[in-house]
Structure formats: C-alpha cells, structure tokens
Structure 1
Amino acid sequence: MPTFAQPYPAEPQTQPRAPPPPKKPAKRSTNEYPVPQPVSILFVDKGNQNRSIIAHAAAELLRLQTLNSGTKNPFTRLDSAGLYVSSTLITRPFLVHAGAVHLPRSVPVTASALPEPLALRALFHAGRTSLEERDVRNRLQRHEARGLEAEDFSRYDFIIAFDAEDVAVLARLSEQVGGAGQRARIVLLGREAPVASPRNVIRDARNAGQDVNDATVYGETVARVWAALERFLQAECGWRRPERPIDGARMPLRSRQFMGSQVRASGIWLKHLREAGEWLIAVDEPATEGAERVVTVTAARELLKEAFDLAFGALRPVF
C-alpha cells in the first residue's frame, strides 16, 4: 500500500498580542524641588548684641525681599538671644554644668542691653534706604538683649549659633530642660567657615600689634553672616533667593513692618485682613510668651499706604 507523506502539523492559532501599556512617567523625587515651609528661627550668640543681631536683621530683610517678589512668607517668627545673658534659665551654675568654659566673671550679663551700633551700621550702610530697610533698622536698634528660655527649645524650629562651643552648650541645655515638646534643631551657622565674633577679631588683632579698622571688621562679619544665612536657608528650608533687590523697580509688591498686638483685633477681623486679596497682613507668632508681635504688611505699591494704615489702626502699635 502506498504511503503518503504526513502533512506538517498546523501551527496553533494564537491571539494577536495586545500592545504594552504606556509607561507611567517616572515619579519625581519629593526632595528634588522642596516646597518651602515657613519656619521659626532663634539666632543665639553670647551677648545678643553682635552676630545674632546681624543675622536677625538679615533674615528680616530676606523675608521682606521674598515677600516683595510675590513668594510665600518663609518665616513664622524670628528672634535673637544671648547664651550669656541672664534669664530664668541662664545662671552661672547652669552654664558651668552645661559645659561652658572660660566664663568671664561678668557672666551672665544683665538683660536689656541694646545692639552694638557698629553691627547695625555695617548692615544698614548708606545704600540701604528703602522703607523696608528703615523699618527693620528702626525696630532692631531698640531690641533689648534677652537670655535663652527653656521654652525656646520647643518654640522654635531652629536655634542657630555661631561657635562650636556654643552649639555644644546649647545641646546640653536642651537635654537638661528636656521635654516631649522639644522640636528645635541646633545648628552651627557657616559650618564650612564659622563666623568669628567681631569683638574677638578686633581684640586679637590689637593684642598682636596690628592696625585694625573696627568698621571694616564689622563689614566683613556682615558679609559672612549674610552668605552663611543664605546657604542655610537654601539647603535646609528650600528658600530661593529673589532675583531683584528688595526695592527694585520691577518688584511687584512692597512691604512695611511694625511691632503690634492683636489685642484690639478680633479673630474674624484679622482673618478678613489676611484674606483681603489685594494685600497680605501677616502677624508673627510671639517671640516669647506675651511678647509683642511683628506685623508685616505686603501690597502693591499703590495700595501699600492704605494697607499699612489699616493694619496700623487695627493692630495696636507698640512703641
């Protein structure tokens, strides 16, 4: 019987493959472009008359420059204090127990000393004549030195010091007054290049027989503090430097500041002021319990006087 070649088996029928689903876009890291969150900062040096005042004033100027550019207020409160200034917390035995060394006999010093005039003069030089700069200068030249309080470790997001020794003492003080509500991070400003005390620089130069100009030393201190503060805000707080100067002609907004109280302003009225739309009236959290508050008024140039007068009348000024 003849044999026939067997046909090749038929290939199984397959369903056409569906096209692969489109790839989801890669998720952007949440830290790539951090959204700035308002923070509170306390600047601390030994006497609350030099570096802490310079940093305090510089931060206020950066705040107003940021607001004038149309960006969110980066701070909920700013203040400065002295580690060696007498307070309910700061006593000589407490400082010694916390590891402070080489304490002068005069430590702790009495509170209420005013800032070193050279410090503010170096920051507010002849070129700083805008309304914003004059408001900050007038307010801070009346700032009375205060000592650190136990509540400061829970009241502020950052406590910024200028000397490694002070950072160590602050860390021990934080442990000794420890509580569940503590939130402050203790930071050394200018870790790569710490900012030396201008008084110490001048003293050491004269002891070495060198000629030194006090105003020049303070000017260099201002430049170092300003640069270190900007680096800190950019790295830790997501802040971005505005491109235009604080009073630039192309700045969309302008700002004013004064010290006031909310005693005469009801919650509803204050909410209305904040949400008026044509301007922003921001009232800082108090720097210490019961203290007056910094009031910042930001508006378009043509509306600034109206907004300032409204805030000034509603939030009782303190002078």
Structure 2
Amino acid sequence: MAAAAPLLGSLEQVRRTFDHALPLVPSELDTDEWERVAADYAVRVLVEPPERLFAGLAADLNDLRARMAESSGTVRTDLTHAFAQLAALCAIALVQVHETDAANRWRRTASRAAAATGDRELAGLIAGRQAVFSLYSSSPATVLALADRAVAVSPPDGVGRISGLAARAQVHARTGNDGAALTALREVTEMFPDLPASTAPYGVWSWPEQRLRFVASEVHSHAGRTREAFAEQEAALRLYPSSSWGGPAQLHAHRATALIKAGDLTAGTEHLAGTLAELKPWQRRDALVHRSAAAALACVPPKQRGLPSVRRVRALLAEERQA
C-alpha cells in the first residue's frame, strides 16, 4: 500500500484537473451526492484509524470547495450543509489524534458553515457533538460553555440539545459535582423518548439508546455507584454494533473508574490494564480511549500508584503517546 502512494497521488492530481475542467454547473444531483459522502464519513470516523481518513477528507473537501465556488442559490446552500458536516467530522478526527488546536479551528469553521445554511437543526447537531468531543480535548469550563451553546441553538427536541445536556452531565461527573451531574442526567433521560425517530446507521450524528446508557455509566462510575454503573454498562455493551470498539473500550474504563472509586483498586486497575492490552495500538492512541483510561487512573490515591497493575496501565498509555 505504501509503495502505491506516489502513484495514487499522481492519479489524484490528474483526476482533479479533469474534474475541474468539466463544463457542468452543480445541481441537486451534486448536493445529494455530497450528503451521502458526509453520511459515510459520519460512520467511518468512529471505526477507522483517523490517519486513514485524513487523505480522503482532504481530497473530498477540495472537490467540495470547487463545487461550492461553481454554484449559487439553494444549490450552494445545500453544498454548504454538506461541508458543515464534513468540517465537523474533520474536527472530531483531529480530536482523536490529540490535535486540539487544529480541531478547534475546524470546529469554528463547521459552526460558521452551519450558521450560513440557516438550518437550526444542523447548527444544534454540530454544536452538540462539539460539546461532547470537547470532553476529551478541553477544560471543564470550555465543555460547559459549548454544552450551553448546544442547548441554546438547538430545537427543543433536537439531537443537539440532548448532546449538550449529556456533555453537561459528564463534565459535572468528572469534576465531582454529582448533584449537578444527576440533574443533567435526569434531563437527558426525560428527553430521550421524545427524540425524532431515525433510521440512520450508528454514527457521529445518531443518538441511540447506547449513548443514553453511556452517559449514565459515566455519571454513576465517577460517584462510585457500582451497581448502577455496571447495569448501565452491560445494557450499553449489548447495544453497540459489532464494528464499534471506542465506546465499548470507554465503558470498560468507566467500570475501572467505578471499582476504583468504590475502593477496589486492584480490580479496577487490572480491569483497565486488560482492556487496554486487548486494543490495537492505534486504538489505544485514540484520544477518547486514552483520556478515559487516564481519568480512571487519576482516581487511584497517590499512595497506591505503585501497584503493578497501575504501572502496567501507565506503561501502555505512555507507549502509545510516544508512538
């Protein structure tokens, strides 16, 4: 595959030259195609190595830029709709590889593009996912600000609003504000049955039941409520598609957190070490998994951080950050 890279690059340059020379004005056929492209990336970004996506994203964004420059009116607005999604997905992929500054730039561009479409549902959807992914790249204050923005810009029954509430519950749980976390979780739970029905596959924009269970898992885990946390984790794990690895790995990090918070340090850290060891190296490097594991490890009291299982977790995390 690496040997083919120069040839693929040359072919891409030729394709782009011919594509831009075609005497066609973008139409609804183009907007439909770009919506499908964005929907495809929304699934792939959760299961594929981010590094594999970047080359394709860059090429597709360049093509979409050309189509937008050639269009006007509703076609341009619809193409901007697809661009807003791709820009947000680019930000998410950059968060996954720990490129926070670049992710923030793409986040801002995605927000501007969504605003340019005048589509409140899209603006809320993007704002909500930005709030959730900021949990793994930003300070608690920034997470809360983005969560508040998502709630404010989303329709009352929009996915963006429930994402904002979820981010609020999670950040309060992480910072030890259990009362506020439970209040936000209650709002999420009450809103969930009223979400619009969706037939979309599991991806960045969907909000299926496993997301609800995931949020509840994190809230109960950080409070050391093992019975409630384990029940939510088991329910969520049964719901994930077989292709998913990130969410399940984070749920196992939640389980480790719950055990550690409840005082069972050895069981918690051994569970965490076993979870990380089962992942592929690129999966351990994923910022969502890496920071969930680090958050669990941070719950270990300083005097107990010499445990063999703690050292093993630290070695696995350090190994992947150096790769």
Q: TM-score range by the shorter chain?
A: under 0.3
TM-score between both structures, scaled by the size of structure 2: 0.26
- Bigger helix share: 2
User: What TM-score, normalized to structure 1?
Assistant: 0.26
Instruction: Give the structure with higher Rg (CA).
Output: 1
